[in-house]
Amino acid sequence: MEKHVFIVGSKGIPANYGGYETFVEYLTDKQVDKSIKYHVACKVTDKNSMIPEHFEHNGADCFKVYVPNIGPAQAIYYDLKALKYSLEYAKKYKIKKPIFYILAARIGPFMGTVVQQIHSIGGEVFLNPDGHEWMRAKWSKPVRAYWKYSEKHMVKHADLIICDSKNIEKYIQDTYPQYQPKTTFIAYGAEIQRSTLADDDAKITDWFHKFNIRANEYYLIVGRFVPENNYETMIREFMTSKSQKDLVIITNVEHNQFYDALKAKTHFEQDQRIKFVGTVYDQDLLSKIREVAYGYLHGHSVGGTNPSLLEALASTKLNLLYDVGFNREVGEDSALYWNKKAGNLAKLIDTSDRLSGDELAAFDQRSIRRIKEAYSWSFIINEYEKEFLD
């Protein structure tokens, strides 16, 4: 008998960005057990979009959900509309014991009603709560309060909570013992996939030339340009360090107030080593930039298993991670760790600069082994399929 799984909360597939979107792409593309039928909600904001109501991608049934531009409430509207459609579809085709897998905890106030409706047709509701969304600095106080309230009610009503970090699982068990939540841990995945570009390929040499960067002579940061990713600490400490290398920052800073505030505080523009180089959407080029970096700085302080951290461990020789539970959980002994105390990261950068070739190679081997053993997509997908078919 086919097991139907409705996936709601990602922007949809085919995917070329985003953690959830990449996850759904791999889950469907590398599916092993064909007795599972995936149905994936795909967000559309253009009413005149030529995307068909239903289309197939990676063997999954993808369905279009039109969402009007209603500001911050868009995501909540999208999830509810996608769930309503999924529920009607399951009823129409008399699907037995469907699973509705909701990505992110956005619809808490409505969760009780949604779960009741799903239970009435013999279905189950799984939740992936993502990270601590209510802690993100980009949200105003009322929005943060909503996220916290929403998380609480989603945890209360879900049949199973799948956490992509052991630290997030522990947080849910410790914070909501009154609901006795049923939780499990299945990590996010990563590929050990080297770039196809040769060291002298024009794509990488032109990019280096454009920003006056040399292979193995820079530390790299890749990630969203938001305060909770600790850019201020990383930039300030790098400026304090004695490193002769560059700090190359791949991020989008257009129309960003945080960028202007950071500039005013640190005057990083006066340090020629600090290089904001915009975004890189060419995945092969980005992989090459990661591979030939001397080291990677990771400052994320909010969330579960972060995709950019997994990519860094899979491809960059040396990784310097902000010392917080879920970063240590992922990196274990394959990385070095820093905190926000003045001088801590600067000292670590200076120490890292003095590592021998053998020491760097040892870190590289440990991080690749860590990804292969615990975070390969084949392992993650096997875990998910077991859970869906259990």
Q: What is the tens place of the pLDDT at every residue in 119-140?
A: 999 999 999 997 666 566 666 7
Interval 213-224 mean pLDDT: 96
Task: Find the mean pLDDT for residues 83-99.
Answer: 97
Look at residue 336 and tell me whether its pLDDT is greater than 90.
Answer: yes
Measured CA distances, 357 to 44, 59, 200, 221, 242 (Å): 49, 46, 22, 22, 20
User: What is the structure's pLDDT at 273?
Assistant: 98
Residue 195 covered by a domain: no
Contact by Cβ (8 Å): 337, 309: no
The predicted structure's pLDDT at residue 167: 87
**What does the block give as tokens for 47?**
């009413």
pLDDT at 153: 96
The sign of the dihedral angle between the CA atoms of 62, 65, 71, 75 is: negative
- Cβ(266)–Cβ(272) under 8 Å? no
Same domain flag for 16 and 163: yes
Asked which of 173-187, 253-267, 340-354 is least confident by mean pLDDT, the reply is 253-267
Is the predicted pLDDT of residue 89 greater than 70, yes or no?
Answer: yes
> Residue 72 and residue 62: Cα distance in Å, rounded?
24
In a domain, 332, yes or no: yes
What pLDDT sits at residue 139?
66
pLDDT at 142 (0 to 100): 78
Q: Is it the case that residue 102 has pLDDT exceeding 90? A: yes
- What count of other Cβ atoms lies within 10 Å of the Cβ of residue 292? 22
Token digits for 161? 């909570």
In a domain, 216, yes or no: yes
226 and 299, same structural domain?
A: yes
Residue 197 included in any domain: no
Asked whether residue 112 is domain-assigned, the answer is: yes
Spatial separation of the C-alpha atoms in residues 213 and 223, rounded to whole Å = 19
**What is the pLDDT, as a whole number, of residue 212?**
98
Please name every residue paired with 209 in a beta bridge, in sequence order, or none if there are none: none
* 380 and 363, same domain (yes or no): no
| Average pLDDT of the residues of the chain | 93
pLDDT, mean of residues 240-247 = 98
Euclidean distance between CA atoms 191 and 212, whole angstroms: 29
Q: What is the CATH number of the domain that holds 235?
A: 3.40.50.2000
Q: What percent of the chain has pLDDT over 90?
A: 79
With respect to residue 194, please indicate whether it lies within any of the assigned structural domains: no
Q: Are residues 288 and 139 in the same domain?
A: no
For residue 225, CA distances in Å to 30, 286, 313 come to 31, 17, 20
Report the range of poorest mean pLDDT among 63-67, 199-203, 306-310, 373-377: 306-310
**Span 103-116, mean pLDDT?**
96
Pair 81, 147 in one domain: yes
Q: Rg of the Cα trace of the chain?
A: 22
Asked if residue 174 is part of any domain, the answer here is yes
Residues 111 and 177 in one domain: yes
Give the pLDDT score at 87. Answer: 98
Confidence (pLDDT) at 138: 64
Task: Give the residue among 159, 170, 132 at the shortest CA–CA distance from 148.
Answer: 132
Q: What's the whole-number mean pLDDT along residues 272-283? A: 94
182 shares a domain with 45? yes
Number of domains the chain contains? 2
Q: Are residues 353 and 331 in the same domain?
A: yes
Q: Do 318 and 169 share a structural domain? A: no
pLDDT digits (tens, 9 = 90+) for 5-20: 999 999 999 976 678 8
Range with top average pLDDT, 137-141, 167-171, 172-176: 172-176
- Looking at residue 18, its amino acid is G
Predicted confidence band of residue 256 (pLDDT cuts 50, 70, 90): confident
Residue closest to 58 by CA, chosen among 35, 44, 37: 37
User: Is residue 118 very low, low, confident or very high in pLDDT (cuts 50, 70, 90)?
Assistant: very high
Measuring CA to CA, which residue among 261, 355, 257, 339 is closest to residue 301? 339
355 and 287 in one domain? Answer: yes
Average pLDDT over residues 229-241: 97
On the question of pLDDT at 305 being above 80, the answer is no
CB of 382 closer than 8 Å to CB of 348: no
Q: How confident is the model at residue 254 (pLDDT cuts 50, 70, 90)?
A: confident
d(CA 31, CA 316) in angstroms, rounded, equals 28
Does 147 share its domain with 268? no
Domain that holds residue 43: 3-189+376-389
List b or e across 209-219, with b for residues whose CB sees 16 or more CB atoms inside 10 angstroms.
Answer: eeeebeeeebb
Residue 58 in domain: yes
Higher pLDDT, 140 or 337: 337
Q: Are both 182 and 36 inside the same structural domain?
A: yes
